[in-house]
Structure 1
Amino acid sequence: EVTVWAQVKKIEPAIYKLYEELVTSNEPIEKRLELLFLASEFLIHSRTRDGAQHILEVMQAKETWTIQELHDHNELMNYSVDLEVFVEYLVDKGYIQIEPIVAKSEMIFHRHYKVNKEALEMEHEL
């Protein structure tokens, strides 16, 4: 365990700092867990763009996609098991937008997805 954490300290100092705070802090466990959850959320959010880069690049090849088209795309097949969850997470974070497309019955809409190019441009400017 010590060897693993020594490696983590070199590779991901922020993760090691979280571990250290969780294990050695004198704060009550509730406070330590609260800090851990906040920091984890921040780390995930700060790396979302990097983690989503591949799917966003693939999706820019055309205007809108159905979830089935995404599943069927050769480059996205590795995401297939978690694709819906991943896409919905990216919708929630503003990287992907939902485009409702009218079906044969005007009361029903098909859900299509597209890259939110404005969000990508704003993030690129930062």
Structure 2
Amino acid sequence: MHVAASKPEFVNPEDVSAEVVEHERQIQIDIAINSGKPKEIAEKMVEGRMKKFTGEVSLTGQAFVMDPSVSVGDFLKSVNTSVSNFIRLEVGEGIEKKEEDFAAEVAKITGGNA
């Protein structure tokens, strides 16, 4: 239920790929530089934001939907279990919707007499 509601991409924060981490780190560095903060503060901002990011995109780092005061990882530890993998499916995922002009669609249906 949590996976369907919160759409995590990874099981644990450590599982987030290096490419994803580096991409997000570059975004956060740009934000920190543009904020005009001193370098030391900007570096700490980036580190904090990266920790938050990896927690948000991983199942065990997210707040548990049934009790947001606890993370999914902490809840799993409290019930002495773990998650090794998950699969999330979404209705309509991967289906390409054909874009068509409404007037052209009506004309096509009525034989061009629109």
Is the pair's TM-score, using the shorter chain for normalization, greater than 0.5? no
Normalising by structure 2, we get a TM-score of 0.32
- Larger strand fraction of residues: 1
Normalising by structure 1, we get a TM-score of 0.30
Indicate the structure (1 or 2) with the bigger Cα radius of gyration.
2
- Larger helix fraction of residues: 1
Q: Whose RCO is larger (CA < 8 A, sep 6+)?
A: 2
